[in-house]
Amino acid sequence: MFTELKKFVMADGVSGDEAGISAVLAAEIAPYVDEVKTDAMGNLIAFKKGTGKNPKKVMFAAHMDEIGFMVTFIDDKGFIRLSKMGGINYGAAAFSEVVFKSGLRGVIVPDANTAPNDFGPNKVYVDIGARTKKEAEKKVKIGDTCRLTPSLAKLMNGRVYGRPIDDRIGCVMLFEAARTAKHFENDVYFVFTVQEEVGVRGAKTAAFGIMPDYAVAVDIGGSGDVPNCAPFAVVLGNGIAIKIKDGMVICHKTMVDTMKKIAEETKTPYQLEILERGGTDTCMLQQTGAGCIAGALSVPTRYGHSGVEIVDMGDVAGGVKILAGLCEAELA
């Protein structure tokens, strides 16, 4: 999975500008599904027809967009001001390299004499080495997007770090489920959604187009095993997390129980996740039309929305087993 994850991590896909990662995902998953298409919103939908006597519509959603920046202003000296695209941690982003879709590189830095606690959207800029506004405008224009330079590397014990693991790791899980499911009892829609980081927008459009009976969002979660963190039951290496609730959704008990059953039958370690804040595409999936039986899988993750997100690939593999199990299961 590492090789596939690296392909996905390296592909460009800031929220609202996901064409780069969409093209990579479409090419990779096409051999394992019956149809690949893009809807009006930009969501990539890969469909696999089920062979069961009473197939259900099952939708898996992983957002393919990543946090990043959009150019809003270029000053007379060629320095570039930005609007954030998603939940930026400016402390983590400051003094980092950024890359534009064109391949142009620069560095994001805070205004001189700005205290770390004051780092924010109005206190940082990108330096591309330009000497004048005119020179910068030959390379960059208002509305262009950039992101922190992507990376991926291995650590000890089957763990990897880099960015944007959020949520390219979920994209890998959907891909692996499509590739490894033994058969498809159900009609399965592998959906790589857009604009999750700016308001879980793409999932709503995709779900209304599909109208699934069952749906699962796959995203990163937190980890309660780092120094001085708040008490949290989910940790790296103890298995994929099956979400019970977060700040935007209470998952359907039927879906929670179904995923737990698949995990237990396949001897797949799992954890249960309860979050007080935050949310994923799940909330939009659940509210589609008259509603559907919706749940979520969370990959335990350290240092989310930084340049050094860490996940355990054993947890990821367990999540793939559960997704494949849902492809194969006779659902009521």
155 in a structural domain? no
Could you tell me the CATH number of the domain that includes residue 129? 2.40.30.40
Which of 148, 174, 190 is where one domain is finished?
148
So what's the pLDDT on residue 283? 93
118 and 60 co-located in one domain: no
158 in a structural domain? no
Active site (annotated) includes residue 196: yes
25 in a structural domain? yes
239 and 114 co-located in one domain: no
So what's the pLDDT on residue 290? 87
pLDDT (mean) for 314-322: 98
Task: In whole angstroms, give the CA distance from residue 48 to residue 50.
Answer: 6
So what's the pLDDT on residue 179? 97
So what's the pLDDT on residue 65? 98
Alpha carbon distances (Å) from 54 to 51, 187, 330: 8, 10, 8
Helix axes 19-29, 165-180, angle to 10 degrees: 20
Which residue range forms the structural domain that includes residue 26? 2-66+164-328
Could you tell me the CATH number of the domain that includes residue 318? 3.40.630.10
131 and 222 co-located in one domain: no
29 and 57 co-located in one domain: yes
pLDDT tens digits for 94-138?
A: 999 999 999 999 999 999 999 998 898 889 999 999 999 999 999
159 in a structural domain? no
As for how many domains the chain has, the answer is: 2
Instruction: Name the nearest CA neighbour of 192 among 2, 11, 21, 328.
Output: 21
Give the bridge partners for 44, in sequence order: 38, 192
Pair type for strands 151-154 and 159-163: antiparallel
pLDDT tens digits for 10-53?
A: 999 999 999 999 999 999 999 999 999 999 999 999 999 999 99
174 and 222 co-located in one domain: yes
Instruction: Name the nearest CA neighbour of 66 among 134, 165, 204, 142.
Output: 165
Pair type for strands 105-110 and 96-100: antiparallel
231 and 275 co-located in one domain: yes
So what's the pLDDT on residue 321? 98
Whole-model pTM? 0.95
123 in a structural domain? yes
So what's the pLDDT on residue 327? 96
Q: How far is CA 221 from the centre of its chain?
A: 10
Task: In whole angstroms, give the CA distance from residue 82 to residue 101.
Answer: 15
Q: How far is CA 232 from the centre of its chain?
A: 21
101 and 143 co-located in one domain: yes
Give the bridge partners for 60, in sequence order: 190, 216
112 and 216 co-located in one domain: no
Kindly state the tokens that stand for 135: 């020179």
So what's the pLDDT on residue 189? 98
Average pLDDT value over all residues in the chain: 96
176 and 248 co-located in one domain: yes
Task: In whole angstroms, give the CA distance from residue 112 to residue 124.
Answer: 9
So what's the pLDDT on residue 16? 96
Give the bridge partners for 98, in sequence order: 106, 148
250 in a structural domain? yes
So what's the pLDDT on residue 332? 81
185 and 57 co-located in one domain: yes
What are the DSSP E strand ranges found in the chain?
35-38, 44-48, 57-63, 68-74, 80-85, 96-100, 105-110, 124-127, 145-148, 151-154, 159-163, 187-193, 214-220, 240-245, 270-274, 293-299, 309-312
The H or E element that residue 322 is part of is helix 313-328
The better pLDDT of the pair 290, 169 is held by 169
Which of 148, 178, 199 is where one domain is finished?
148
Which residue among the candidates 66, 176, 196, 273 is catalytic per the annotation?
A: 196
Task: In whole angstroms, give the CA distance from residue 293 to residue 298.
Answer: 17
157 in a structural domain? no
pLDDT tens digits for 43-75?
A: 999 999 999 999 999 999 999 999 999 999 999
201 and 234 co-located in one domain: yes
Type of residue found at 239 = G
Q: How many CB atoms are closer than 10 A to CB 209?
A: 17
153 in a structural domain? no
Which of 148, 177, 192 is where one domain is finished?
148
41 and 92 co-located in one domain: no
pLDDT tens digits for 194-253?
A: 999 999 999 999 999 999 999 999 999 999 999 999 889 999 999 999 999 999 999 999
